[in-house]
Every structure is written in structure tokens, then in C-alpha cells.
Amino acid sequence: MTEINFNFKSQSPQQKPEGHKVKAGETLYSIAKTAGISVEDLKRANNLEGNTLSIGQILTIPSGGTRTDRNEISMMPEISDAQIEQNNTRARYIKITRHQPYTIQKGDNPSAIARKFDVEERNILSLNGLNEQTATRLQPGDVLKIPDSRHAKNINNLNDAAKAMGVSADFIKRLKRIEDGNKSDGKPFTDTQFHNTPYIDDAGNRTIGIGHVLQRGEKTRLSNKEVLELFVNDMLKMEENLWSVLGGKKNYDKLPQSIKEALLDMTFNKGTAIIEDTKGLVWTLKSGKYEAAINLMTNNKTQKGKEMSGLSKRRLFDISTAAKMYKGSVPQSIINTQQKVYNHGVELLRKECALGYKKLKNPKISQQQYFLNQLAGYNKEALEFSDGKIKTINR
């Protein structure tokens, strides 16, 4: 019987990782792309927490990838150079505290644990694969992973706040103007003026700084720096909640910056429910159908389900903010949506004015004039918030 010799090239069961010496101009992204691996895999193989490299640094290239040759197509990167640069900038303004797993004690619940570590409850649940129902089955002795907590640092002005959040300074300044309203003399706050003491906002909440609803035990007199850091801390929590809503940070990071800005404002204004309760919005965002997503940013209801003209106006700001991704060539469908939101807002304003007029004692003007006075102010802000894309109603 003839012996047949199958002469395959021997291959070790585990390929030895390669080493790469970092050259000038190289980044994690460029090295990972060449190696055909993800940035996260490259960072994990080298125990890197940040994204900064040094010339001459030796990196281990994990065996999961191979260097790209002429006939190979490398996988799409998970994070771009621009995103890495932005993350490096943000790191200068954010302090990250990493937490060890926590063993549940008697009397604990997810809400109390979240307060203990200054993180969001929903993010603890998400990280541990839990929801509100399954979380009720937690017992003393169970171990929970705790997400990192993030806090603002080095925030001295609105530009720093924008860098900390990875958004435009224009967005932060416009959001502040909306939240601030006008001073007692009727003039708007400047970029360096703040609500350093409590005030009552339009919803009747005791508020301080930039739209921060005061909680029991919090300071009632803040310096400008404290106002700015409080604002960024609030925005960081909004961002973390958006990670959870969208199924993880990677899904959020893929979004265009203008979409992120609009979602941050919506969440800052009314919490994540405004996004979760809008049918189809999360799906369109995760699917990259951004025009459809922007056309769904119309939720003008309070937490009690009441439609308000002021919230219609705020949605005009969010829609125009999100639409900046089109660099001036806004799709007609989005312009149409803005007009519908505005028109409905005016209808609501008319009803609100009718109720408000009835509460006036000895009014010196007619109900129609009362409405027209309110409408003039509404139109001015609606035009500003919509970047002039709407046709106003003047009677």
C-alpha cells in the first residue's frame, strides 16, 4: 500500500504577536488600520487607557490581525483619527474614576448604589445586563460591575465646556441662552454671566446655574467656575444615558456631531424619555437614517403628557441643530417638519394665551392684542431657533 504524505506547512496553534515601533505621525488608528485590527484590540493588547503614543514606543500587534498587503482589504476602523484627537482633547477636561465590582449589602438597591458611586442607575443596570424588573431579584452577596464615573475639571469658560463635551462652542452658547432667559432688566445674559443663585424656571422648578434643578442639600450660591463644572457634569450624565438608550457608547460615537448635539439638548431638556417615547427614533439613529431621525425630533410633551408651545419652540432648535450636518443644504422634508412644528406651536400658544388672558385682573388690552404681543416674542425666538427656515404667522 502506497503511503500518501500530506505535506501541510506546520502552523503553531497560537501565532506570536508582532512588535511595532511607533514612527512620527502614526496614530492608534493608522497602526490598527494597517494591521487589520480594531483600535480597541490594539489598546487592549498594550494595556493602553488613553490614545496618546510616543515616537519609538513598541506596540504589540495582537495575532487577530495581519498587516495589510496589496490583495487584502482591512476592516473598517471603529474610531477615526478625528475621534481619537477629540477624545484626547476631552480627556484634559474630564476626570475618570474607575470602580471595583461592588458586593450588594443588605438594604441596598440600584438607586442607592448609583448615588454611592455618583453614576446613573440605568447605566449600572445596562452594564450588568439588567432591567428594572430583573434588578428586583438582586440579593445581598450578588456582585455588580460599576461603570466609571466622570467629572468635569479645568472648566473656566463656555469654550472649555464645549471641549469637554466634544461639541461646538456655538451649540453650548445657544443652549445656555435658551436656559438663561433674560435678566430682570429684560436684557439677555452674556456668555460670562450666570445664575449664581436659585431662580424659578418656566416649569416652576427651583433652578441654579445653567438649567440645573436644585436637589436637597446642594449649594445655593455658586461661583462661575462651579456653575460651569456643574453644567458639564450634568451634560456628561446626559451623554452616559444616551449611551444606554442607543445600546452602547460605540453606537453613540458613530453619530454625526450635530446629531449628538441635538440629542444632548433633548435629553438635557426633558430626559431620555423624550427619545425613548418617540416611536422609531432610536431605530433610525442606530440604522444611520439621519434624515428620518431628524424628522422625528418633534416631541413637545411634558413629563405629564401635555403639549406646550415652548417645547415646540425648543424642538425647532434641536431640529436645526441636527440639520447642520447637511452644511446648509437641508433636505426639504426637514424644512417641512420645522414648519409643521412651528405651526402647531402657534396653535398651542393661542390656546395658552386664551387661558392666560382669563386669569388677568382688569386687562387693559384685548385678548387678541394679548396674543399678538406674545406671538411677536415667540416668532422672534422661533426664527432664531430654526435658523430662519420657517415662515411665521403674524395674526
pLDDT at position 210 is: 97
Q: List pLDDT tens digits, range 272-289.
A: 999 999 999 999 999 999
pLDDT of residue 80: 66
Residue 8 pLDDT: 36
Note down pLDDT in tens along the chain; length 395 residues.
433 343 333 344 444 556 888 887 788 877 887 777 777 778 888 888 777 788 888 888 886 554 444 333 333 345 667 777 888 889 999 999 999 999 999 999 999 999 999 998 988 998 888 888 898 889 999 999 999 999 999 999 999 999 999 999 999 999 999 999 888 888 999 999 999 999 998 888 999 999 999 999 999 999 999 999 999 999 999 999 999 999 988 899 999 999 999 999 999 999 999 999 999 999 999 999 999 999 999 999 988 889 999 999 999 999 999 999 999 899 999 999 999 999 999 999 999 999 999 999 989 999 999 999 999 999 999 999 999 999 999 98
Stated length of the chain: 395
Q: Measured between alpha carbons, how far is 233 from 210 in angstroms, rounded to an integer?
A: 11
Q: Which three cell numbers stand for residue 351?
A: 390656546
E runs forming strands in 57-169: 58-61, 94-97, 102-103, 143-144, 149-152
Q: Which residues pair with 97 in a beta bridge?
A: 149
Residues 147, 127 contacting (CB under 8 angstroms)? yes
Q: Are 102 and 113 in contact (CB under 8 A)?
A: yes
105: left (phi over 0), alpha (psi -120 to 50) or beta: beta
Put the strands of the sheet holding 206-208 in their side by side order: 199-200, 206-208, 212-213
Q: Report how far residue 266's alpha carbon sits from residue 277's, in angstroms, rounded to the nearest whole number.
A: 12
Q: Is there a contact between 302 and 271 (Cβ–Cβ < 8 Å)?
A: no
What pLDDT is stored for residue 367 in this prediction? Answer: 94
Domains in the chain, CATH or no CATH each: 18-83 (3.10.350.10), 96-152 (3.10.350.10), 154-244 (no CATH), 246-395 (no CATH)
**pLDDT attached to residue 46:** 87
Q: What is the CA radius of gyration of the chain?
A: 26
Q: What is the maximum span of the chain, computed from C-alpha positions, in angstroms?
A: 116
Rounded Cα distance, 289 and 68, in Å: 31
Position of cell 447637511?
Answer: 326
* Model pLDDT for residues 298-329, shown as the tens digit of each residue: 999 988 889 999 999 999 999 999 999 999 89
Rounded distance between C-alpha atoms, residue 384 and residue 388, angstroms: 6
For residue 12, the model assigns a pLDDT of 42
Distance separating alpha carbons of residues 104 and 182, to the nearest angstrom: 47
Question: Which residues does 328 contact at the CB level (< 8 Å), separation at least 6?
Answer: none
Note the pLDDT of residue 393: 95
Report helix, strand and coil shares of the chain as percent, to nearest 5. 45, 10, 45
Burial zone of 108 (CB within 10 Å; 0-12 exposed, 13-18 middle, 19+ buried): middle
Give the pLDDT score at 29. Answer: 76
Write out 146-212 in H/E/C secondary structure: CCCEEEECCCCCHHHHHHHHCCCHHHHHHHHHHHHCECCCCCECCCCCCCCCCEECCCCCEEECCCE
pLDDT at position 87: 81
**Predicted pLDDT of residue 267:** 96
